[in-house]
Amino acid sequence: MKALASYLVCAFIVGALQAHGYEQIPLENHDLPETWLSKYGKQIDQPFSGPLAFSHLTYSRCLEDESAEFDIAVLGMPFDTGTSYRPGARFGPYAIRSGSRRQREARGYSLAWGNNPYEQGSKIIDCGDVPIIPFDNALAMDQIEVAYSTLLARPVASSKSSWAKGAALARDGREHPRIVSLGGDHTIVLPILRALNKVYGSVSVIHFDAHLDTWAGYPGTVSEQSRVTHGTFFYLANEEGLISNTSIHAGIRCKLQGLGDIENDQSVGFHFITSDDIDDHGVPAIIKRIRERVGDSPVYLSLDIDVIDPGLAPATGTPEAGGWTSRETKRIIRGLAGLNFVGADIVEVAPAYDHAEITGTAAADIVHDFLSMFMSQEPPTPYTFQGSWPKDEL
């Protein structure tokens, strides 16, 4: 009876209030939480979080996604069964991408380059890794060539070209995408050159390395496939007519069997710059010699991380003491901007031998240089601002 009486009293009061024009106003529900999007905005990746793509770029499995559009692709090639000493470069693409995590499109401007490569009108994406088989090197070489040719044949994404001579260099008269390959051991360059040859013919190679990589073969070679290694691929490329007699090594300091190795190297089409030449002649002279050697030809740049001294980049399969510093290497790369680059790679990063990720970090920074190099029509001039060096002292 008490409950019924209470209900009747409440009903009478509500009815009286409504009769006098008062509306019932519900209390605000404070139990519903504010959403992340309404309070903090879009979900962004921190330098140490998010999917593993180079510099947090858009990631696509471009080999299967034919709708993926790009002007420049970053492509991993996790292959290391062509090595002659320490394996492990199959993890190189992972290490380089990991080393790039502090980089991103929004903070890509470099004082040394005077640009942000991601803001030059070209679409750059990470196309993932080629799923290279580690059990059959003949099959692996074909997989790399087919993958590279597949991306090379795609139409460029941008209507306005940032590559002045791209179409003129190609046999078919149209501009093709450019690819920055993340090795992998150096053997990957042979199938890459095979793919490039279909589009550009023979190319000049600028080869940063401690080693010549023009040997005819290793002791114990008893089959045609066993000739294909990370130290013989340029010899084989010359046999196949893939490289021009205008190629050059930079940073050479390896042990040789004798002067016969140099004579063989010259017959393959290379001149070379030793690591000591940087002390005797300086960076500007090295840049000048490289540019004069390759001229206006189509150019492919291949950089073995062991060109850098192992004290600064220890994570590599065949370390050689006495190499260049990462700063010297980066300065030389800047001096090569404006050449007719058709592609580039960085190889032989083997993170099992790294510490504090210093090799992966250096490699990632060099890849960023490659992108700026592709975007620049000439070497950058030193940036000056109030308080810096006067122009006449630079």
Residue by residue, what is the 3-state secondary structure of the chain? CHHHHHHHHHHHHHHHHHHCCCCCCCCCCCCCCCCHHHHHCCCCCCCCCCCCCHHHCCECCCCCCCCCCCCEEEEEECCCCCCCCCCCHHHHHHHHHHHCCCCCHHHCCECCCCECHHHCCCCEEEEEECCCCCCCHHHHHHHHHHHHHHHHCCCCCCCCCCCCCHHHHCCCCCCCCEEEEEECCHHHHHHHHHHHHHHHCCEEEEEECCCCCCCCCCCCCCCCHHHCCCCCHHHHHHHCCCECCCEEEEEECCCCCCHHHHHHHHHHCEEEEECCHHHHCCHHHHHHHHHHHHCCCCEEEEEEHHHECCCCCCCECCCCCCCECHHHHHHHHHHCCCCCEEEEEEECECHHHCCCCHHHHHHHHHHHHHHHHHHCCCCCCCCCCCCCCCHHHC
Predicted pLDDT at 342: 98
Q: Give Cβ neighbours of residue 76 (< 8 Å, ≥ 6 apart).
A: 92, 93, 94, 97, 128, 129, 130, 181, 182, 184
Predicted pLDDT at 100: 96
Tokens in use for 12? 């009478």
For every one of its 394 residues, what pLDDT tens digit does the chain have, with 9 covering 90 and above?
Answer: 555 555 555 555 555 545 555 555 555 555 677 898 988 998 888 888 888 999 999 999 999 999 999 999 999 999 999 999 999 999 999 999 999 999 989 889 999 999 999 999 999 999 999 999 999 999 999 999 999 999 999 999 988 777 878 999 999 999 999 999 999 999 999 999 999 999 999 999 999 999 999 999 888 888 888 899 999 999 999 999 999 999 999 999 999 999 999 999 999 999 999 999 999 999 999 999 999 999 999 999 999 999 999 999 999 999 999 999 999 999 999 999 999 999 999 999 999 999 999 999 999 999 999 999 999 999 998 777 776 666 665 5
| pLDDT digit string, tens, across residues 220-236 | 888 888 899 999 999 99
Q: Note the Cα 112 to chain centre separation in Å.
A: 18
Q: How many CA atoms lie within 13 A of 347 on its CB side?
A: 30
Predicted pLDDT at 44: 84
Predicted pLDDT at 95: 98
Place of tokens 């089959």: 223
Predicted pLDDT at 351: 98
Give the number of other CB atoms < 10 A from CB of residue 279.
Answer: 8
| pLDDT digit string, tens, across residues 55-108 | 999 999 999 999 999 999 999 999 999 999 999 999 999 999 999 999 989 889
Predicted pLDDT at 2: 57
| pLDDT digit string, tens, across residues 353-374 | 999 999 999 999 999 999 999 9
| Average model confidence (pLDDT) across the chain | 91
Predicted pLDDT at 91: 97
Closest CA to 300 of 184, 168, 204, 188: 204
| Secondary-structure class of domain 55-381 per CATH | alpha beta
Contact 132, 79 (CB under 8 A): yes
Q: How many CA atoms lie within 13 A of 158 on its CB side?
A: 18
d(CA 307, CA 359): 12
Predicted pLDDT at 1: 54
d(CA 380, CA 383): 8
d(CA 179, CA 148): 8
Predicted pLDDT at 10: 56
Predicted pLDDT at 28: 59
Please tell me the pTM assigned to this model. Answer: 0.89
